Amino acid sequence: MRELMRRRGRNERGAAAVEFALVVPVLLVIVIGIFNFGFVLAQQISLNNGARQAARYAVVDGPTCADVVTEARNGAETIGMSASQVPTPTVTPCSSSTAKPCAGAAVGTNITVTMVRSAPWTVTLFPFNLIPTPTLTGKGVMRCEFK
């Protein structure tokens, strides 16, 4: 009996290494997924914040549509999305870059600032190189309170 136990003990050598080799790839995919999700979530929050901030800025008397676009771009910078990667926002209603969004509009008219970006994965290892990159949309809507 004792001889059987010794043989069995010798046969299980390396079992922990095999188990480790089977579990590590799954854990790495989970960790990389958390990392990628964190970057994409930060960019989504930043786009929403930039668009909302620009919409608020637009309903104040004075800024032109070009000023609102600049405000949106400045407000949307974050980790993983530098100033050059921030998308150009769409401001409605804006007929030209020198127009003032609320000037001449009826009280209660909505100013909408929309920013759309295709966010690349930060770590593009398997399986993220097979998953399409998410499209992020930030939208801010404010109401003109004056003529």
Q: Structural domain tally of the chain?
A: 1
Q: Which two tokens stand for residue 19?
A: 């188990």
Range of the domain at 87: 15-143
Tens of pLDDT along the chain (147 residues)?
566 556 555 677 888 899 999 999 999 999 999 999 999 999 999 999 999 999 999 988 778 899 999 999 988 888 778 888 888 899 988 888 888 888 878 888 899 999 999 988 888 888 888 889 899 999 999 998 876
> In this structure, is residue 1 part of a structural domain?
no
Q: How far is CA 132 from each of CA 10, 29, 34, 127, 128, rounded to the nearest angstrom?
A: 48, 16, 16, 10, 8
> In this structure, is residue 3 part of a structural domain?
no
* pTM (predicted TM-score): 0.79
